[in-house]
Every structure is written in structure tokens, then in C-alpha cells.
Amino acid sequence: MHMTPQSTHMQRALELAASVQGATSPNPWVGCVLVSEGVIVGEGATQPVGGPHAEAVALAAAGERARGATAYVTLEPHNFHGRTPPCTDALIAAGVAVVHVAMLDPNPEVSGKGVEQLRAVGIEVRIGDGGAEAAKLVEAYVKHRATGLPFVTVKFAATLDGKIAASSGDSRWVGGDEARAWSQTHRTTIDAIMCGVNNVILDDPQLTARPAGVTTERQPLRIVADSRGRTPLDAKVLGPGGKTLIATTEASPTDWRRDVEARGAEVALLAADDAGRVDLRALMTLLGKRGVLSLLIEGGGVLHASFFAAGLVDKVRAIIAPKIIGGTAYPAVGGPGVARMADAITLRDLEIVSLGTNVAFVGYPERS
């Protein structure tokens, strides 16, 4: 779907919001631009939790020039006292005359109330400029506020014949340099990253965000689905680089759980599903309660299959590399598969990204 915002000022506000995507979690990432007589007099993006929101940053930059100005905000300003004072109060106090809001807050408890408060004091409020882009940008926040669950993205790099590793389990590397850089940059925008325990045993990933040329302090929570306690104690995921949560069941040895905790990781003891594996819905509920808005699943195919079977996948980021492995081991998505093409999962609102000799397909899974 091609979406064009109606105004260049809202476009700028969306760029500001995108520049802090995920960094403000569990708060939404918002951008704000203040315009007076056609000139931008202040702009800002939401700061990490506890810091000022986009409107406050833009108002501080504009100072007295905010009086009579038009504000472009990517999400409805909030009117409640949270960790920061209400943004509606700040806009009113500064004397802003017109407010363009790209979308209402999806949180049912506050939706529409910020707009109401602004209108009540005579501020002109217009809703919907850049609305589709804004909703897509904060899709993880929208899902979390609507369901209490994280927005789940499955990501893999596969060969032309759909394999994510060679027959020995070796997967370094399926994708090319540009594809890996693209994936690393994306990791900086998410709250948590997860893989199955086979991936830890075969590949020993660090599961950190390491975008080239950038130092990132904010690291996603690293999660391993490990029902029986097979994560080796010297696994890199238990080492430095970020916080780690091992999702397990009663089937894992108590001693192993204690040893994992002694390495600084958290052990979440969860219900088992019918196959005796970590119950993914229970895990999603736990993560949602902790304010994890976005979760990235990075392999392997066995875990991907469980997420698809549970209907828990919101988005797919599939990199396809021009290589062929052959054989039957390590498909991108395992499980029994569907019997008829008509039952295949199709990605809608597809975005196709060219990454050197690789191609990435990004879209939202839908069963016909």
C-alpha cells in the first residue's frame, strides 16, 4: 500500500518519530513540529522513559514563538499525569492555535480525550494527516495497547530453496553483508529478541544489536525458548551484552536453573504446551505485562512453526539469498506444513527491499 502524508510538516514529524522508534518503549515514539508563518520554529521527538515527550521538546525549542503556532503531532497528545505532565496542558499554556494529530491514541482509556481537552479551550484540532504512516510506525504500540501482547515479527535469512542452515546446522552466513547490516539496524528498534534452544546449541548467537559504526546502549531483552534446560552454561547469550531471560518449564533440572540464574540471567518457569514445550501464549502474556511492545523471533524453523501455528505472528521479515542447499534439513518454517497452496500463508501489504544480491520480503501474514 502506498501512503502519502498530506503535509510536509507532518512528514517531518513522522521522520522525527521514526528516528526514536522503539527507544521510548513502553511509551510510544512520537514526533512533533511547530510551525509559525510557514517556518518551523521548534521540533522534537519523544525522549527515553522519564524524559520529555515530543511536544515538550518542540515547545522548549520554540519558546515564545510557539504562541499562535500550528503543531503537527504524530500521535494524539496525552491529557493525563503519568511520568511526565500532560502534553495537552503544555500546548495550551504555550498558546498553540492549531494542532494536527496524525492518529488518536489507541489506548482505549485515553483515546480522544487529549483532542477533547484541546478543543474545549478553543484550539483547532485536525485529525488524520499522515494517519496511515503514523499507525504503521507505532504498530507495536497499537497491538500492545489493544491486546496486552507484544507485536511479534519473525525474521529469517533463507536460501532460494527455503533453508536457513546447511545440513550440519551451519548458517554463517546465509544472507549477504547488506542483509546482515539491515537486520542489525532493525534490532536497535525492538524490545526483545528470541530464539529456540537448538539455535543456541548449533549457532551460539549473542543476540545483541550491533549496527555497524553505531554504539547502542539500549539492547533488546534476549530470550531463549528452552523447555528442558539444554542451554549450555557457557552460551554467549548468557554472557555480557544485555539482559537474558530463559523461558523454560518444570521439565528443566533445578540445578541448571540455579546455575543459569547465577550467571545473571532470569529464568521464567512457564506452563508446557501439549507437546511439552514452553507455552508461547503464556510467554507472550508475561512479556506483554512487562511492557515488551515488540518481539523479534530469529530462528530457528522449529520455533517459527510454533509461532505460526499459535497464530502469534504479526509480521515477517524474510531475506532470500541466491543460494541453494538442497536436502530436507532446516527449513525456514518447520512443522507439517499445509497440504494445499490455498492454505499457504500469504504476506499482505508487501514491501520488497533490495539488499545487494539478496531480497527482503516484509509483510503481514494472512491465511486465505
Ligand X SMILES: NC(=O)c1ccc[n+]([C@@H]2O[C@H](COP(=O)([O-])OP(=O)(O)OC[C@H]3O[C@@H](n4cnc5c(N)ncnc54)[C@H](OP(=O)(O)O)[C@@H]3O)[C@@H](O)[C@H]2O)c1
Active site residues: 55
User: β-pairing, 358-367 with 315-320?
Assistant: antiparallel
Q: Which is nearer to ligand X, 31 or 300 (CB)?
A: 300
Least distance CB 324 / ligand X (angstroms) = 14
Nearer to ligand X, 228 or 263 (CB): 228
The CB-of-71 to ligand X minimum distance in angstroms stands at 43
Query: What is the smallest separation between the CB atom of 317 and ligand X, expressed in angstroms?
Result: 10
User: Based on the number of CB atoms within 10 Å of its own CB, is 257 exposed (0-12), middle (13-18) or buried (19 or more)?
Assistant: middle
DSSP H stretches of helix in the chain: 8-19, 54-62, 87-94, 113-120, 131-137, 139-147, 177-187, 197-203, 254-262, 280-289, 301-309
Q: Judged by CB, which is closer to ligand X: 49, or 202?
A: 202
- Regarding 174 and contact with ligand X (CB under 6 A), the answer is yes
User: Which 92-111 positions form the footprint of ligand X (CB under 6 A)?
Assistant: none
For ligand X, the closer of residues 145 and 323 by Cβ is: 323
Please identify, among the stretches 82-90, 102-110, 225-233, 235-243, the one whose residues bind ligand X according to the rule CB under 6 A.
225-233
Interface with ligand X, residue 178, by CB under 6 A: no
Examine residue 228 and tell whether it contacts ligand X (CB under 6 A): yes
By CB under 6 A, is residue 280 in contact with ligand X?
yes
Between 56 and 157, name the residue whose CB sits nearer to ligand X. Answer: 157
Give the three-state DSSP class for 125. Answer: strand
Tell which one of 334, 358, 360, 362 touches ligand X (CB under 6 A).
334
Query: All 3 cell numbers of residue 297?
Result: 523471533
The reply to whether 202 sits near ligand X by the rule CB under 6 A is: yes
101 vs 164 by CB, closer to ligand X:
164
What are the CB-based long-range contacts (under 8 Å, 24+) for 340-345?
Answer: 342/368, 343/367, 343/368, 344/368, 345/308
Q: Are 321 and 158 within 8 A, CB to CB?
A: yes
Q: Does 14 bind ligand X (CB under 6 A)?
A: no
For residue 221, the cross-strand partners are: 192
By CB under 6 A, residue 203 contacts ligand X: yes
Task: Decide if residue 159 touches ligand X (CB under 6 A).
Answer: no
Cβ atoms of residues 154 and 304 within 8 Å? yes
The Cα–Cα gap between 359 and 174 comes to 12
Name the β-bridge partners of 32: 44, 73
What 3-state class would DSSP assign to 99?
strand
Coil, helix or strand at residue 342? helix
Q: Which of 46, 70, 74, 171 binds ligand X (CB under 6 A)?
A: 171
Residue 226 touching ligand X (CB under 6 A): yes
C-alpha cell at 349: 501489504
| Phi, psi torsion values for 94, nearest 5 degrees | -80, -10
> Which member of 99, 221, 278, 313 binds ligand X (CB under 6 A)?
278
176 binds ligand X (CB under 6 A): no
Instruction: Identify the bridge partners of residue 195 per DSSP, sorted by sequence position.
Output: 224
Cell of 283: 510467554
Q: Is 235 in the site for ligand X (CB under 6 A)?
A: no
Q: Does 246 bind ligand X (CB under 6 A)?
A: no
Q: Interacting stretch for ligand X, rule CB under 6 A, among 26-34, 102-110, 262-270, 300-308?
A: 300-308
Among residues 8 and 357, whose Cβ is nearest to ligand X? 357
In the complex, the residues that contact ligand X under the rule CB under 6 A are: 156-157, 164-165, 169, 171, 174, 195-199, 202-203, 225-228, 230, 273, 277-278, 280, 298-303, 306, 330, 334
